[in-house]
Structure 1
């Protein structure tokens, strides 16, 4: 199987999505790819136990992509070997009335993982510069004091919002959160195939909404907004990775590989040593239990 350099997927300079392939050939069949994923998945599960015991870092994994990009199944397959006590998944939908009564980052801030835990955002705070940018009328629902009409949702508004997102991520990174941001880069043709599959398979019907087709008509608008977001918010402390997503097993393997290869670079994340006094008396404790 082809070895990969995880940095080839990292956004480190200005990109154009049209020039980035949605397919990546690992030179292996599906069975081999899934076997390699299982191996990395087990290692990630072991690392999760270590970071939980260490208790000084949190890990935030942000997953974005167009409809049908494979977000849900990626989460299911990559994190299958995690202990549920150490990972929390949040799927952000249309903001509730309560959420709209707070600033747009509030619901994401309160969902952040505690130190020692992994948190996954399935759709993220970036919806606030993606969906709302394609549909600026949604901003009016936030009831902001300086937005009175669509005319106020201008480039200066988006510049400010990008600055706020960058500041938010820098703040949590400085306080011990390791941030990964994955854009599942899907082709329009593959999205069509996956939507057709949803319509043809009865057990997939629940996933389909007519709104999927309405949003598909805005594909180019979304691609421009994604491209701008990736270019303006990929930083050393919170990098974006563009993941070729036309083949789901390949996308899952690449994400797992990026996570593991990056996290093992944190040499300070180790299981804590037992207190010297406790360690010196282990045999005593064992005898006490055996002789109950």
Structure 2
């Protein structure tokens, strides 16, 4: 994919798109998918196969996603060079929702020196010995970095609720904790973007079946996924409450239709490009006298 992107972008600067490239209407995307503070989210109102803001076809969408990816690569370099700002991307989804695939495609070609992925699995004994936000706070981005949470601190208002691991009074208080935690991060210079990859139960069934049918994907299949699938409605209710309670101006949630992987990648890459461009980043000042520097020859 990186070679394909480089071929397409060769001969262009980082801010220019090919003249025949259909553009995504990001205003329509944000209006349709961003969860505004105070919204009472109903995920049944969100079409998992929608292509809002896009008039092109699938192949054009893939090409536009590559162009956005190239722009994201350039902006990440600027973020790293400036070294003053931090970006946190939170990815949540149902099982098979496409978190790994999103990271792989959206950040393809981006310098791994400036991007880190933190995966949140079942808590370890050490993590359980601390408050539930401890493991998240330990891996938030440093200056100049983008950190992607593959699952996140939101597991503690999702899984714990669905499986009744803590009393309702306790997990409901966590919405406030999370809002305060993200307010702290934002106040200290972290830009937060939260993405919910929204797939249908039919799409999940197809993806699970694909893992069963393909021996090379058996490693991705766990029988526990089937047990979790039976709790689909419980998880949807948990996601609706979590997103409604914690989408804020400084840490917004976006409900991204994710049945069509190419559209998912296109939208997320463009949202991140827009966020980074809005930071008004600047290259560090150069040393004085560089015009007079001569590279010494080696005998």
Settle same-fold status: TM greater than 0.5: yes
Q: Distance in 1 between matches of 2:141 and 2:221?
A: 30
Please name the residue that 1:16 is paired with. 42
Q: C-alpha deviations, 1:13-71, integer Å up to 9, x for none?
A: 22211111111233433321111111110111100111111111100000000011111
Question: Counterpart of 2:97 in 1: which secondary structure?
Answer: coil
The correspondence of residues 91-106 of structure 1 with structure 2, limited to 5 A, is: 91-106=119-134
Q: Distance in 2 between matches of 1:283 and 1:74?
A: 43
Q: Distance in 1 between matches of 2:197 and 2:282?
A: 31
Q: 1:112 aligns with which of 140, 151, 154?
A: 140
Question: Counterpart of 1:199 in 2: which secondary structure?
Answer: helix
Q: 1:86 aligns with which of 114, 127, 135?
A: 114
Q: Distance in 1 between matches of 2:220 and 2:57?
A: 28
Structure 1 window deviating more from structure 2 (205-214 vs 258-267): it is 258-267
Q: Does 1:165 align with 2:173?
A: no
The correspondence of residues 197-276 of structure 1 with structure 2, limited to 5 A, is: 197-267=210-280, 269-274=281-286
Q: Distance in 1 between matches of 2:155 and 2:219?
A: 23
Question: Counterpart of 2:105 in 1: which secondary structure?
Answer: helix
Structure 2: 5+ residue runs without aligned partners? 1-21
Q: Does 1:282 align with 2:290?
A: yes
TM-score by length of 1: 0.89
Q: Is residue 88–residue 140 contact of structure 2 (8 Å, CA) maintained in 1?
A: yes
Aligned residue pair count:
271
| Offset at residue 272 of structure 1 (A) | 1.4
TM-score by length of 2: 0.87
Q: Distance in 1 between matches of 2:153 and 2:173?
A: 14
Please name the residue that 2:25 is paired with. 3
Q: Distance in 1 between matches of 2:273 and 2:172?
A: 33
Q: Is residue 156–residue 171 contact of structure 2 (8 Å, CA) maintained in 1?
A: no
| Offset at residue 291 of structure 1 (A) | 7.9
Q: 1:33 aligns with which of 61, 65, 86?
A: 61
Q: Distance in 2 between matches of 1:35 and 1:69?
A: 22
Question: Counterpart of 1:14 in 2: which secondary structure?
Answer: coil
Question: Higher Cα Rg: structure 1 or 2?
Answer: 1
Q: C-alpha deviations, 1:180-218, integer Å up to 9, x for none?
A: 000001101111111111111111111111111100000
Structure 1: 5+ residue runs without aligned partners? 140-152
Q: Distance in 2 between matches of 1:255 and 1:14?
A: 23
Please name the residue that 2:82 is paired with. 54
Q: C-alpha deviations, 1:155-197, integer Å up to 9, x for none?
A: x322311111110000001001000000001101111111111
Q: Which has the higher helix share?
A: 1
Please name the residue that 2:98 is paired with. 70
